[in-house]
Each structure stands twice: as structure tokens, then as C-alpha cells.
A and B are shown apart, each in its own frame.
Chain A
Amino acid sequence: MSSIKIELRQEDVNKIKEICTSFNNDPQELINVLHKCQEHFGYLPAEVQEVISNELVVPVAKIYGVVTFYSFFTMTPKGKHPVSICMGTACYVRGAEKVLDEFKKELGLQVGQTTNDGKFSLSSLRCVGACGLAPVVMVGDKTYGRVAPDDVRNILKEYEEGK
């Protein structure tokens, strides 16, 4: 039987409740509620899903099912420097996948994961509207254009300690 204790700060609980109320606690709005919560927390840890489950009266197993089904939801916190690679058509045809593979290799991560030290996380994006610069990589707010696999190591260097 469920024996897991959940810990959250009061303000976090209030925020989740507020988001749920803004959707009238309607279970049909689950996906939108999850979107808003992820926007706020950056990710959707188990604790957050439990509170949503209570508020919308949807079994938490269902919520977890939705979170794991859609690739834009994540349960791992983003790194200090979130790396995103655009996988829109333009970027894709210009070799974004090779760039992504290089990031995977360099960071030892799969898409959706974060390094153990919390520094980098890796995700893929749909078109960011900078097709002229394809392939496009973003690290935090900074955009890099025409990235080739060989550039990957240099990009990551910029974020090494002390820089």
C-alpha cells in the first residue's frame, strides 16, 4: 500500500493548486495543467504529480502515464545549462541529428537526461524559427547557428567552470 511520504514547500503546493484552479480543477485539462506546472518548476517531479492528482481527482498512475507518453514532459530537473537541439525539418536535413549524437557522446546523456553534477541537460526542440541558421543549438538563452559536430566540444567549453 502507498507508504511514500511526499515533501514539498507550502508555496509550491499553493502554486500547483492555483494552476489547477485556473483550469477549474477539470480533469480534462490535465495536459494543460501539466504544461503550466512544468513551465513553473522546469520539470514534473513525482511530488508535483501527486498534488495534481489530489486536486484534479485523477489517479496519479494516469498522470504518470501522460507524463511518460509525451516527450515534452520531463521528470528530471533541467541542468544549469540546458542544451537544446532543434530537430525541425530545416535543421534536420542539415545534419542536426549528427550534432545531437555528438552532444550525447560528449555529455554521456540521452535526450531528457541531466548530468549527475546538474550542469548540463539535453533536449530536442521542434522548429525554433531560425531556419536560416540551421542547424541551431541553444544553450540556456544563447543561440548557436550552423553548428557542425566538430563545434560541439568548443560550445561546451564555454560553460566549463569559471567561465
Chain B
Amino acid sequence: METLKLTIDNKQVEVPKGTTINKAAKQLGIEIPTLCYMELHDLNIENNPAGCRICVVEVEKRRNLAPSCATRCEEGMVVKTHTTRVLNARRTVMEFILSDHPKDCLICAKSGNCDLQAMAHQLGIREIPGQEIAAMSTYKKDTSPSIIRNQDKCILCRRCEMMCNTVQTVGALSAVNRGFMATVAPAFEQNLEYSTCTYCGQCVAVCPTGALTEVDNTPDVLRALADPTKTVIVQTAPAVRAALGELFGMEPGTLVTGKMVTALRALGFDYVFDTDFAADLTIMEEGTELLDRLTRHLKGDKTARLPILTSCCPGWVNFFEEYFPDLKDVPSTSKSPQQMFGAIAKTYFADKIKVNRKDLVVVSIMPCLAKKYECQREEFSLDGNRDVDFSISTRELAAFIKQANIDLNNLEEGEFDAPLGESTGAGVIFGTTGGVIEAAVRTAYEVHTGKKLPKVDFNELRGLEGVRSATIDFDGLPINIGIAHGLGNARKLLNDVRSGKSKFHAIEVMACPGGCIGGGGQPLHHGNSEIIKARAAAIYAEDKKKPLRKSHENPFIIKLYEEFLGKPNSEKAHHLLHTKYFDKKKKIIVKQ
């Protein structure tokens, strides 16, 4: 590797060619502040539009200050990172940004977690000159089912655009206009709802300010809890327990399952259930579908399309409805665990406790923003009553717990309620990339071969590589499995399916990098993949601890089929637990 030497703040450093001044400084332990810059190591992605100019430094023999995040080192360069000229420039830049930024930190969702606020603080800004004369530009506020866009708070770092275009390949957002009207917006500045957005929430996860936030549904939940005529039940997705602790000062990867249950009970939920139960149910339905399609395919039935694609991620469902509507009969028809839970809760469970579905409120705690949109889909309600009434994110739950003055750290470990709170290890691993397909394999293998699995862990399906594949031996029958997380990676596999090149029998897709543990509703990880890895490890640890680790062994699932559903893929199961997909691609209509 070619290297070069330079001097930063009177210290010599040797770096590979192509290194930026900012990174070279880091090597010396010198932190140059950045704002718009962001790096996602494991995705190999860098956002450096060099837009904010907070990171400027002095380079000897250059007239202008240079943005250190985007300027490459040169042999013999002499750099000064914190001269008075630099400090002055940073302050001016910050004052300029703040002069056109609302000052409502008091009620801003990002307050305390906002990069802009932190930077203003770090630079000691106490006054904003020119504030009285300069009128602030204003932009319409846009509320979609999942995401609120408040572009007045946009600092044009373009991280969201990078996420949406480069990582997710959705392309719903782009920088538009110039001057004071410049912002990031969907095409024709329409609301997000009318764009190609999948509601994956990855833009929200990287936005440094309060410009992009989730729709806050905690007031709805609070209202339901306060209503004595309502029975309010809650389900918690697997990825939540592996991340919630971070918002209470715990190390990433700390499992807080039991404490979370106790907190939810303290908040007043009548029953605390687990989405993992519904994940086990998903495996029963999806696994049966896989085996059915596979057997028919092997018998030469041309109508049995392979590969089968998982359908438990609503961000992913939105994506293929928009971009691959021609393949809409390829994914499994099984609903997501969130919606399966809702459907069972409002029928089987409502009957059991003799409560009318209208008086039963189902709340879900999700790592996800797409779930907010999903539970509002028309096909998931009956006479206007939703199967899942409200979905709140991990971040919203943490805020809710704090509001109620509950200290998660000091809670006893609680247990989920029966019957919808019992789950196997297979349900737990749904929270991470590779987990859904591993859970499916555990069950499909045993059902198909009639034999016990020699080993429950499938390490070949685990990891954080964006696209992975493995062949699993079903007792002489090789099953090819593909896995993708992040929609850009999913697109690659889908293009192969479209062109008939795909060799896979089954493909798992999750919209968010890392799977749900990296979901758009999780505690912000600021691009640090060590946090994602710690959450994944926590999920696998919880799976290991479980006495039962295969969905079809869950006694409450067995009972649910005996008492209520009959067999997997039965008519009743189809009616309650399966769905259909729609062609959402924009049509160009030709006038005659």
C-alpha cells in the first residue's frame, strides 16, 4: 500500500494514500468535529458531501480553509486543526446554520440526541447574531403513517438521501431546489405518502436533527390505557429486548426481556404478550407453505413458484409491491408476526376472555417504523377496527417508561403472560438477519424428514454479510438458501429471481441493515456496527437459553391449532393468517 507523510498540529503521521485529513488526525488522537459527515463501516459507505464546513482546518500554503472530511492528505502537507482562524470559522458556520434553524429544542423529539444541538453546545454558541433581521425560511410539515418530515430542521447533510438511495436503492428522497428553499424531499415535493418510500425508517435513523422523526403514537397508547372500558394488551418484537437497555445506560447487547415485561405491566397493560409467539406461528404457516411449494415443484408442478421469499418484514413488502410487482406471487402469503398476533388476539383471545374486539386494544412494541404503516393497511382491519391498533417503536417505549418515572435498571424480572406470551428460541431469532430462515429450516427439516435435527444451530446462516447463501442438507435433499438485509442487497437477489437466474429455494429478506436489530425504530447506533453485533449476540444468547428452540414444539402453538385453527395452511388459517399483495408501481396512463 502506498503511504504518505504529513504533519498535523506539529505531529508527524504516515497514512495510506487517499486518507482524508480527518481520519489522519484521528490516528493521532486529534478529534476534528464533524456534522454532515457519516461513515457506516460495515456497509462500506461514507457520506461526505462537504456541505456543513464545520470540520474545516488550515492547510499551509492554501488560501482557503479545507473541509477535513473530504480533503485527501498529500505528501508533506502541514495541517493545523484548531487555530484561532479555524475556531472562528467554525463558530461563524455554526451561527449561520443556526440562524435558519427553529429553536424549539424544548419540545423536539431529537433533543438530547441531536448532533446539531450537541455541536452548538460544543462550540459554546450562546447567541445568534443577525437573528432578529433574518426571517427564517419555512417549509411545509409532512406527516405520513410512519414518519414526520419537518424540513425546517434540515441542515442538508444529505445522510437520509444517501441511506435511501445508496443503501436502500429506494430513491424516494433527493436534494431539491437551491438557496433558502433547498431541502431534501420526495419527487415534486409531494408528501412521503405519495412517494416510493417503504417506511423502513433508515433515513430517520441517520438524521442528525429533528427533521426526520417517527410518528409518536405513545399519546394514543396512554389514552387507551387510561380508558377503563378497554382491555389493553401488548406484544413485544424480539429485537426490542436486545436494544431497549441502551436507552437506560446499559451496555449494547444487554438483554432486558424480564425487566421490559415488568415495566409494561407497571405501565398498566392488562396482558403482556410476546410477538415471538406469533413468530412461531409464522414459521408454522410459512414453513408449511415452503414445503408444499417445494414438494409440488419437485413433482414437476409448474405453478409452484420457487424460490419462496419471506414476508415478515413490512418494509420489504412495500419495496417489492413498488419495484417488483411482477413477482408478487413469489413471496410467502403469510402475514408478518405483528399482524398474525393481532388477528389471533382479536379472535381467539378476545373470545377466550369474552371481550368484544372493539374493546380490546392491541399495542405492539416494534424496532420498526414500517410496522406503523402496516397496522394501518386496510386489509388488516375488520369494519374499521384494526387487528393491531397502535405500533410504537423501541425509542417511543423508552420515552414512555421514563415518562412514568420507571427505572428499568432496578426492576425485577417479569414473565410474559399465557397463552400468547410463550415462545421458542426460533421465535426470538426473528429479530436478526438470517434468523427467520434459520427458524424455518429448524421446523421444515423435521417436518419434511420426520427426523430430529442433529444440531439446532445453523451457523452457516448467521453473520452480517449483506448477501449470504448456504446449502442445507434435508437428509439427501440439498436446499439452497439466500439471505439479504438492506433493500439494496434484496434488489440484487430479486433481479436474479426476475431473470430466472436464481438458484435458491428460499430467500429471507429484511429491509434494515442487520435485520430488525438495526431497525428504523431502534436506539440510534450512529453507524457503529459493533452495537449491531452486540444486539445480534444477545438475540442468539436468548435463543440458546430457551428450553424449546423449534417453533413446532411450542405447546401453546400446538394447542392453538388443536382448539382453533385446525392445521397449518387450513382454510381458517388462510383466512386469518395470510394476506395478498398489491401492485403499487406508478402507472403511466396513455391518453387515447
- Which of A6, A13, A62, A64 is B587 in contact with, Cβ under 8 Å? A6
- Please tell me if the beta carbons of A50 and B177 are within 8 angstroms of each other in the complex: no
- Which of B171, B195, B588 is A54 in contact with, Cβ under 8 Å? B588
Contact code string B160-179 (vs A, CB < 8 Å = 1, else 0): 00000100001111111110
- Please tell me if the beta carbons of A2 and B589 are within 8 angstroms of each other in the complex: no
- Which of A1, A6, A49 is B322 in contact with, Cβ under 8 Å? A1
- Please tell me if the beta carbons of B321 and A1 are within 8 angstroms of each other in the complex: yes
**A125 is an interface residue with CB less than 8 A from chain B:** no
- Which of B173, B176, B188 is A69 in contact with, Cβ under 8 Å? B176
**B196 is an interface residue with CB less than 8 A from chain A:** yes
**A62 CA to B518 CA, complexed, in Å:** 26
Chain A residues lying within 8 Å of B195, measured Cβ to Cβ, are 2, 61
Chain B residues lying within 8 Å of A69, measured Cβ to Cβ, are 175-178
- Please tell me if the beta carbons of B176 and A2 are within 8 angstroms of each other in the complex: no
Complex interface residues of chain A between 40 and 82 (CB less than 8 A to chain B): 46-47, 49-51, 54, 58-65, 68-69
Interface size of B by CB at 8 A reads: 33
- Please tell me if the beta carbons of B588 and A2 are within 8 angstroms of each other in the complex: no
Contact code string B378-416 (vs A, CB < 8 Å = 1, else 0): 000000000000000000000000000000000000000
Smallest CB–CB gap between B178 and chain A, Å?
A: 6
Complex interface residues of chain A between 65 and 114 (CB less than 8 A to chain B): 65, 68-69
- Please tell me if the beta carbons of A1 and B177 are within 8 angstroms of each other in the complex: no
Chain B residues lying within 8 Å of A8, measured Cβ to Cβ, are 588-591
A-B pairs with beta carbons under 8 A, tally:
89
Instruction: Label chain A's interface by main secondary structure.
Output: helix
- Which of B189, B196, B592 is A1 in contact with, Cβ under 8 Å? B196
Complex interface residues of chain A between 1 and 24 (CB less than 8 A to chain B): 1-10, 13
Chain B residues lying within 8 Å of A4, measured Cβ to Cβ, are 190, 194, 586
- Please tell me if the beta carbons of A62 and B177 are within 8 angstroms of each other in the complex: no
Smallest CB–CB gap between B237 and chain A, Å?
A: 23
**B187 is an interface residue with CB less than 8 A from chain A:** yes
**B584 is an interface residue with CB less than 8 A from chain A:** yes
- Please tell me if the beta carbons of A68 and B588 are within 8 angstroms of each other in the complex: no
- Please tell me if the beta carbons of A61 and B186 are within 8 angstroms of each other in the complex: yes
**A49 CA to B188 CA, complexed, in Å:** 10
- Which of B176, B193, B587 is A65 in contact with, Cβ under 8 Å? B176
**B424 is an interface residue with CB less than 8 A from chain A:** no
- Which of B174, B178, B318, B590 is A64 in contact with, Cβ under 8 Å? B174
Q: List A residues at the B interface (Cβ < 8 Å).
A: 1-10, 13, 46-47, 49-51, 54, 58-65, 68-69
Q: List B residues at the A interface (Cβ < 8 Å).
A: 165, 170-178, 185-190, 193-197, 318, 321-322, 584-592
In order of increasing CB-CB distance, the 10 nearest A-B pairs are: A59-B171, A65-B174, A61-B174, A60-B187, A61-B187, A64-B187, A2-B586, A1-B584, A68-B176, A68-B177
* Interchain residue pairs with CB less than 8 A apart (7): A1-B194, A7-B589, A9-B590, A58-B171, A59-B174, A64-B174, A65-B175
